[in-house]
Amino acid sequence: MTAMLFLRYNHCMDQKTADQKRESARRRVFDIIQIGNRTDFASRNFDIFIVITILVNITVLFLQTFDSMEPYMDLLKALETITILIFCVEYGLRIWTARYLFPGESSWVSIRKFLLSYDGIIDLLTILPFFFLDGFIAFRMLRVVRIFHLFRINANYDSFNVIKSVIYDKRNQLASSVFIIFILILASSLGMYSVEHEAQPEYFRNAFSGIWWSVSALLTVGYGDIYPVTAMGRILAIFISFLGVGAVAIPTGIISAGFVEQYSKAANSTVSLEMGTASVVIDLDSSWIGLPVDRIHEEYHCIIVLIQRGDAVFQPSDDYRVAFKDHLIVYQEKEN
């Protein structure tokens, strides 16, 4: 009886050790593929490898459109197959380590959140057309999604984070400006149809036939393939062209103002947070490892002002994840 209990205890201990090793390996894989750490040799080389794979895949995608590359199509197809298989392995690893991407959630909830995230959708749309959607033109166009993988090259740098922050902060204003442009397109198309239909029935057959002209006019492109020939149409086109200049300037001004606000905020935060600011170096036993910045703010009431990772010093975005050996400048909020 004692021997059986001893064997059962050893089996449980061996199982526990195996589970710990498996979780440790999963955590290590997560640190390598999810957190861009320049001081981590494996993480840095994985990022370089994925960037090269993305560039090779997109280069092959472009070369396959050249008739002169017909003799090399077998080679290009092989390269495409290899890169897609690499994307598949990476996609599987990201699903496997999703629980660390969304700490506190169950495994299935974490996987579901990853699959519905931007990276999850882009990864899936990159892989699917290669396997069984290649025969349909609409689905072949999904291969263009691969280009969005290039965002990963710049994902961990301050410049890209600033752009993301500006677009996110100004999303409501940008949506309003796009809606205004859409209304102007419909109005100018309907107006041009009213004055040009009789003179050019082949171009302005109905109210929607003038949308191509209104888009090229409002966005100041002016291809010249469709143009008004009546006096009233030309007068209307002048006003629409002036409106187009203003319509293009609206989102441009919004984004420019957003950049000014972001850099002003960075300058002000460096000056105003001197009191209550601390320098923190992330150790192996830190509970912050792998957590996004917004979650650290929510749970620990700390604002991460700056991050130094290797040679790079930058302001993190809300979804930026803290890694081992990161040097943080942290502001502790006062409790009410």
Q: Is the pLDDT of residue 313 over 70?
A: no
Q: Are residues 54 and 149 in the same domain?
A: yes
Q: HSE on the CB side for 265, CA within 13 Å?
A: 14
**In this structure, are 22 and 149 located in the same domain?**
yes
What is the C-alpha separation between 26 and 323, in angstroms, rounded? 15
Q: Which of 125, 155, 185 is the last residue of a domain?
A: 155
Q: Is residue 79 part of a domain?
A: yes
Same domain, 81 and 191: no
> Does 325 share its domain with 304?
yes
Residues 99, 184: one domain?
A: no
Radius of gyration of the chain, Cα coordinates, nearest whole angstrom: 27
Domain of residue 128, residue span: 18-155
Q: How far apart are the C-alpha atoms of 201 and 209, rounded to whole Å?
A: 10
Over residues 101-124, the mean pLDDT reads 81
Q: 104 and 95 in contact (C-beta within 8 Å)?
A: no
**207 Cβ neighbours under 8 A, 6+ residues apart:** 189, 190, 193
CA distance 325 to 196: 68
**Segment 148-170 mean pLDDT:** 65
**Boundary of a domain, candidates 221, 249, 267:** 267
The reply to whether 5 falls in a domain is no
The winner for highest mean pLDDT among 57-66, 83-92, 200-209 is 83-92
Do both 26 and 130 map to the same domain? Answer: yes
Q: Are residues 84 and 140 in the same domain?
A: yes
Candidates 130, 118, 114; CA nearest to 57 is: 130
Q: Are residues 291 and 246 in the same domain?
A: no
Residue 25: per-residue pLDDT: 82
Residue 159 has pLDDT above 50, yes or no: yes
Residue 293 confidence (pLDDT): 81
Strand ranges in the chain using DSSP code E only, listed in sequence order: 277-281, 302-309, 312-314, 327-332
Proportion of the chain above pLDDT 70, given as a percent: 72
Asked, for residue 112, whether it belongs to a domain, the answer is yes
CATH number at residue 92: 1.20.120.350
291: DSSP letter? -
Residues 118 and 59 in one domain: yes
What pLDDT is recorded for position 271?
Answer: 41
Residue 163 lies in a domain: no
100: nearest Cα among 45, 33, 42:
33
- Strands 327-332, 302-309: parallel, antiparallel or unpaired by DSSP? antiparallel
Residue 29, amino acid? V
Q: Smallest Cα–Cα separation from 177: which of 211, 236, 219, 217?
A: 219
* Within a domain: 45: yes
Percent of the chain surpassing pLDDT 90: 2
Q: Tell me what the mean pLDDT of segment 198-214 comes to.
A: 81
- Residue 16 has what pLDDT? 62
Higher pLDDT, 16 or 175: 175
Q: Return the DSSP state at 224.
A: S
Could you say which DSSP state residue 68 is in? G
* Cα 23 from Cα 30, distance rounded (Å): 10
Mean pLDDT of 52-74: 85
Q: How far is CA 108 from CA 255, 277, 295, 307, in A?
A: 38, 38, 20, 31
d(C-alpha 223, C-alpha 217), whole Å:
8
Pair 40, 131 in one domain: yes
The pLDDT confidence band at residue 82, using thresholds 50, 70 and 90, is: very high
CATH number at residue 191: 1.10.287.70
172 vs 239: CA distance, rounded Å: 27
Return the pLDDT at 274.
Answer: 47
Q: How far is CA 280 from CA 35, 307, 328, in A?
A: 18, 10, 5
Q: Which among 28-42, 130-144, 164-178, 214-228 has the top mean pLDDT?
A: 164-178
Whether 181 is covered by a domain: the verdict is yes
Count of the separate structural domains present in the chain: 3
Helix, strand, coil percent content, the chain, rounded in steps of 5: 70, 5, 25
pLDDT computed for residue 210 by the predictor: 78
Asked whether residue 80 falls in the same domain as residue 145, the answer is: yes
Rounded to whole angstroms, the Cα distance separating 251 from 259 reads 12
- Asked whether residue 138 is assigned to any structural domain, the reply reads yes
Sign of the torsion formed by the C-alpha atoms of 60, 62, 64 and 70: negative
Question: How far is the CA of 79 from the CAs of 18, 19, 52, 140, in angstroms?
Answer: 37, 37, 12, 18
- Residue 319: per-residue pLDDT: 72
Contact 50, 152 (CB under 8 A): yes
Pick 152 or 204 by higher pLDDT: 204
pLDDT bucket at 276, cuts 50 / 70 / 90: low
On average, the pLDDT of the chain sits at 76
Same domain assignment for residues 149 and 187: no
Is 160 a domain residue?
Answer: no
Residue with tokens 């979650």: 295
CATH number of the domain encompassing residue 289? 3.30.70.1450
Check residue 70 and give left, alpha or beta (phi > 0: left; psi -120 to 50: alpha): alpha
The better pLDDT of the pair 320, 116 is held by 116
- Residue that terminates a domain, selected from 248, 267, 286: 267
> Of residues 90 and 252, which shows the higher confidence score?
90
pLDDT above 60 (res 133): no
Does the pLDDT at position 176 exceed 70? yes
List pLDDT tens digits, range 4-61: 555 555 555 556 666 677 777 888 888 778 766 666 678 778 888 888 888 888 888 8
Strand partners, 302: 332
pLDDT digit string, tens, across residues 323-336: 777 788 887 766 54
